Structure 1
């Protein structure tokens, strides 16, 4: 691998990380060898969930990265430290993280994506008890949730939809992707951890193309709502094209999601922002 490319990847990424994790104690640079393209630094974050059953999960996890000369073609060395993780839980979490990163992240600077994965999955491993193998019941799948996401646009519509559909099939998530006027919505129903995994993939994997036709990640997705539910409204994940916001309103009424529409969609339907299928 070109050593200059490796050096640039590390130093450029460090600048971004220092600007993002700029609060006291969030980012610590231990060592940097610019000529070799290697470094060692620690990012300390809290988990991204508010779990009433685990109120102590405001605690932090420290992630130490040590990218080497072959980074980002190969993964950086990573170590995890938290008072809420037993050694076995930390090892289990690291193994799962490495599997994910090898499958989806190699080839591009990946520290932000790794931090996001850890924040979203921290609760599962912090709840790892009695050093037993994690089962579906102990993985922290959580309750069933209904989540509403909004996309700004799609350029490669067919490819995008195919990717989302395959993720839902793999994760056991049901719901709809809805196109109406200038709005693109994703309505999801599934176990909390699986929906979080879907959202993580949407943030970190290449699902669309940019204006030059190059594969790119989703940078303009927003989560409008994410709430527990005891209802099961869907048996599949499908595409729904609607002709008007009035039809959208009737659809949400039929699902007993009128409140969700009133709180999050009615303002958008009054003043839809620019952006749709291009």
Structure 2
């Protein structure tokens, strides 16, 4: 039997996503629950059409919804990545109506994805390798010629890759260099390409630096991360 909370939530969602084709109820069944599709245009200057399908099983919201993500603007891998992030967010939320919060989270996921693509493009142009570590703090590790690293930092401060509280694209003015260190072939850093990696805790962040044989550098920047 469908929960009253789910039915009430769909009613509220219908008033929020009231544009033509924004919200569709795909299924309403006492045994299998509700399936609600929300079509949204998200991202920065390049607006992307993304469709989210939420399956609200009868125990919902005591259990999180199943989620599907599709988009003609994104690859299957990108859709799967967004889906995993939304499922993780849903599992972390308290057992209460959450669909609207997850749709809002979609905007953040796409913004981060676009920022990652921009940083990867710069690293390729400047012949840099590195890591983009996403978590409580966003960290960029770069390896390459010093002038190229300086140019990367200049781009980060002057090109609109961040988003302000109003959702408008803005420049990353809070960026600061935590440490500069010479590198040598004998250091054995495992940096290849420009890889994006997420972390949830300081131990996971420490493990990422350890994987790159940069434990000493991590220890040096740790006070800045803990402050």
Q: Could you state the TM-score of these two structures normalised by the residue count of structure 1?
A: 0.44
RMSD across aligned positions (CA): 4.1
2:16 to 20, 41, 58: 20
- Rounded to whole Å, the distance in 2 between the matches of 1:25 and 1:117 is 20
Runs ≥4 residues deviating over 6 A:
126-129, 233-237
- In the alignment, which residue of structure 2 is the partner of 1:40? 35
Match of 1:114 among 62, 81, 102: 102
Distance 1:125 1:232 in 2: 18
Gaps of 5+ in 1: 51-56, 130-135, 140-169, 174-189, 200-221, 238-278
Is 1:84 aligned to residue 73 of structure 2?
yes
The Cα shift of 1:94 comes to 1.0
Q: Give 2:48's aligned residue.
A: 59
In structure 1, the partner of 2:5 is 9
Deviation at 1:102, TM superposition (A): 0.9
Aligned residue in 1 for 2:187: none
In the TM superposition, what is the alpha-carbon distance from 1:64 to its structure 2 partner? Answer: 0.8
When normalised by structure 2's length, the TM-score is 0.53
Distance 1:28 1:137, change over 3 A: same
Q: Aligned pair count?
A: 152
User: In 2, distance between residues paired with 1:60 and 1:9?
Assistant: 28
Structure 2 counterpart SS, 1:70 = coil
RCO (CA 8 Å, sep 6+): is it higher in 1 or 2? 1
Q: Deviations over 1:3-38 (max 9, x none)?
A: 5xx5111100000100000010101111112x4471
Give, in angstroms, the shift of residue 106 of structure 1: 4.1
Note the 1:1-278 alignment, pairs <5 A: 7-33=3-29, 35-36=30-31, 38-50=33-45, 57-103=46-92, 105-125=93-113, 137-138=119-120, 171-172=136-137, 223=166, 227-230=170-173
Cα distance between partner residues in 2 of 1:37 and 1:11: 13
Note closer, same or farther for the CA distance 1:125–1:11 as it changes in structure 2 (3 Å cut).
Answer: same
